[in-house]
Structure 1
Amino acid sequence: MLKILWFTLLSYQLTIVLATDYELLLEDPDIFSPCTEGVPGSVGIGEIFDLSQIEYNQDSDVIHVSGNATTTWDIQPTDRIAGSFAIFHNERGNWEPTVFSMSTQDFCSSMYNADSYWYKSWTKHILNKNDVQSKCLNTPGTLLVHEPFDVQLIIYNVRGSAQGRYKVVVTLEAFDEKNMRRETSLCFEIRGEVEKLKKKK
């Protein structure tokens, strides 16, 4: 999920003219933070997934990710999941929306779509996707086996100034067969400081 923030910041300001490189300094060493303004009934990522077998190791400007995650969301396999993420920039103490956000009313249909941000940033690294694709995230006990992968914390060739605090807010909501929203939803944030990368002498 961390790559989502990076891909979207890149597409938000990327150009080859007057370009500068930037580094993301994570605010929370655990990467994922609870939402400060989540929808009612929202919980953090640790209450939707068992992440006890996932390891994150930061090495300078790279985060190495490995291990497995198990879904624990207490919803039904027939539920529809709506997903969204949005990037915010902190301006004078207030989180202001940027131009970049994305949502889908059927997350399960895009979870393993090779053209989706979800796939490019996360699910392409799930090794057993052929076995679990039909289970999405609405089947508790589904084991997602990940290949080791790296998350780069540098973006290159950014036009103008992108410095300051940013956050990406990710939300997943489940709806039953009557299209009624389930009481428990997922909402988490990835927050960090974007700083101009110092040129090596």
Structure 2
Amino acid sequence: MDKMSATLRILVLQVIISWAGATEYQLILDEDGHLAPCEHHPGNPSNFDAMVDMTTVNVTNSGNKMAVEGQQSVIWKDVQPGDNIKISVQILRMEKGSWQKTMFGTSSNNFCKNMFDKNQMWYQFWTKYITNSDEIKSKCLNTPGAVIKYQPYEIELRANLNVPNLDGRYKVVLLIEAFDKRNVKRPVSICTEFRGNALKV
């Protein structure tokens, strides 16, 4: 795993491992299971590389740690400054040969407004590491050409969880949509999947 989007990688990891508890789990993502095109999603959305340039972000997989450094430019076609960005995350588990929705998920109906809110889940594992936060507060993901810069940082892929029997195969589906000032959805939506296994340590 040499190049990818720090934004979505860290978001996926936090959704899977952020619940506090007594059982320790390790998340192992597939080698080719990050930023995969969404399977059978309505509307035929584009993959993540239609939103940001992923060639300038480096992520190093060291087993139970992930090191991130670099920057990414917004290249989302037809999105304009002032558009509202909505994000939804759904976690699915493989059961008896098919993907089943779990109770776990998260969403934001106005991501640009609260992406730097310290009380939001994504701040601790993503946006607090953006070094040009003043600029991105105004440009967000809806300004083509905006460059999101990160300080190098490292995250753990292990956590103590209070949910029993989480061993298994999972995928996280991340959908990002833009809406104009009339609340009409822009034609290009972004959808990407992360696939891997959660193991009890």
d(CA) in 2 for partners of 1:188, 1:41: 11
- The amino acid that maps onto 1:50 is D
Structure-2 change in CA distance of 1:149 and 1:29 (3 Å): farther
Q: 1:25 maps to what in 2?
A: 28
d(CA) in 1 for partners of 2:82, 2:161: 44
More moved, 84-93 vs 62-71:
84-93
From 110, 127, 130, give the equivalent of 1:123. 127
From 59, 64, 73, give the equivalent of 1:70. 73
Indicate conservation of the 8 Å contact 1:110/1:118, yes or no. Answer: no
- The amino acid that maps onto 1:115 is N
Superposed CA deviations along residues 29-88 of structure 1, whole A, max 9, x for unmatched, are 462211113341411111110111111111121111100100001211121111111211
Indicate conservation of the 8 Å contact 1:164/1:195, yes or no. Answer: yes
From 151, 154, 159, give the equivalent of 1:155. 159
Identity %: 32
Q: 1:138 maps to what in 2?
A: 142
Structure-2 change in CA distance of 1:10 and 1:68 (3 Å): closer
Q: 2:5 maps to what in 1?
A: none
- The amino acid that maps onto 2:11 is I
Partner of 2:184, secondary structure, is coil
More moved, 186-195 vs 138-147:
186-195
d(CA) in 2 for partners of 1:48, 1:159: 34
Superposed CA deviations along residues 140-189 of structure 1, whole A, max 9, x for unmatched, are 00001101111311122544211111122111111112211111011111
Q: 1:94 maps to what in 2?
A: 98
1:3 aligns with 2:10: yes
TM-score by length of 2: 0.88
CA-atom RMSD in angstroms: 1.8
* Bigger fraction of residues in strand: 1
Q: 2:4 maps to what in 1?
A: none
Indicate conservation of the 8 Å contact 1:87/1:166, yes or no. Answer: yes
- The amino acid that maps onto 2:55 is S
d(CA) in 2 for partners of 1:155, 1:73: 34
1:187 aligns with 2:191: yes
**5+ residue gaps, structure 1:** none
d(CA) in 1 for partners of 2:63, 2:16: 20
Q: 1:38 maps to what in 2?
A: 41
Q: How much has 1:94 moved relative to structure 2?
A: 1.6
**5+ residue gaps, structure 2:** 1-7
Larger Rg computed on CA atoms: 1
